[in-house]
């Protein structure tokens, strides 16, 4: 009897929606996977701006925003789960004396080899006072998959996967992120028939 295939771990990868994806939450989306284990997966959509800016968000949480580089930046739709809750994707903060998996913020998930995702208000307070991480992206809501669900969707040709690239998250214009993510695989959207398979 053949052994079960080794489990895949897509932490610090992008999920790129195949053209046939009909779920409007995920059509033409690029998802940064923050955590993936046998229990499921959690990620943030990085290419779907919501209806508010960072300046609007800071006003809502009663904080001034002294980082002029952030005010006009959109707040993104990170996924359909907990859409009233904020998630801050940012560069890792390196502080002398802290272990690699510790953070200066109260509630941070350190993505091995990748970025950090903070859900506590202290990161917003740091940004408010002109500090905080250099590169940030804020989402409302997140994307989640239960045990085996993401693997099943990948097997069903819903997603392509590729190692994540932080420059695509922070430095690539939003409208180019889907095409650039496909480009990491050497693909362009026209090459993918809606029902095409993948290797």
Question: Does any domain span residue 3?
Answer: no
pLDDT digits (tens, 9 = 90+) for 169-179: 999 999 999 99
Structural domain of 107? 13-191
Residue 6 included in any domain: no
Residue with token string 């560069």: 91
pTM listed for this prediction: 0.90
d(CA 150, CA 41): 7
Number of structural domains found in the chain: 1
Q: Is 186 within the bounds of a domain?
A: yes
Residue 47 β-bridge partners: none
pLDDT of residue 20: 86
Cα separation, 140 vs 125, in Å, equals: 17
CATH of the domain at 93: 3.40.1740.10
Rounded Cα distance between 14 and 182, Å, is 10
């Amino acid at each position: 009897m053949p052994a079960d295939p080794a489990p895949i771990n897509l932490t610090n990868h992008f999920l790129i929606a195949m053209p046939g994806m009909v779920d409007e939450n995920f059509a033409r989306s690029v998802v940064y996977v923050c955590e993936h284990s046998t229990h499921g997966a959690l990620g943030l959509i990085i290419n779907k701006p919501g209806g508010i800016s960072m300046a609007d968000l800071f006003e809502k949480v009663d904080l001034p925003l002294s980082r002029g580089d952030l005010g006009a930046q959109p707040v993104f739709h990170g996924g359909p789960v907990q859409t009233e809750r904020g998630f801050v994707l940012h560069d890792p903060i390196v502080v002398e004396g802290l272990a690699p998996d510790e953070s200066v913020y109260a509630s941070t998930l350190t993505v091995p080899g990748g970025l950090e995702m903070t859900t506590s208000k202290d990161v917003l307070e740091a940004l408010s006072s002109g500090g905080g991480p250099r590169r940030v992206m804020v989402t409302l809501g997140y994307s989640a998959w239960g045990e085996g669900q993401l693997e099943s969707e990948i097997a069903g040709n819903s997603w392509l996967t590729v190692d994540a690239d932080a420059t695509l998250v922070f430095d690539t214009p939003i409208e180019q992120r889907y095409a650039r993510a496909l480009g990491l695989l050497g693909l362009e959207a026209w090459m993918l028939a809606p029902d095409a398979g993948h290797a």
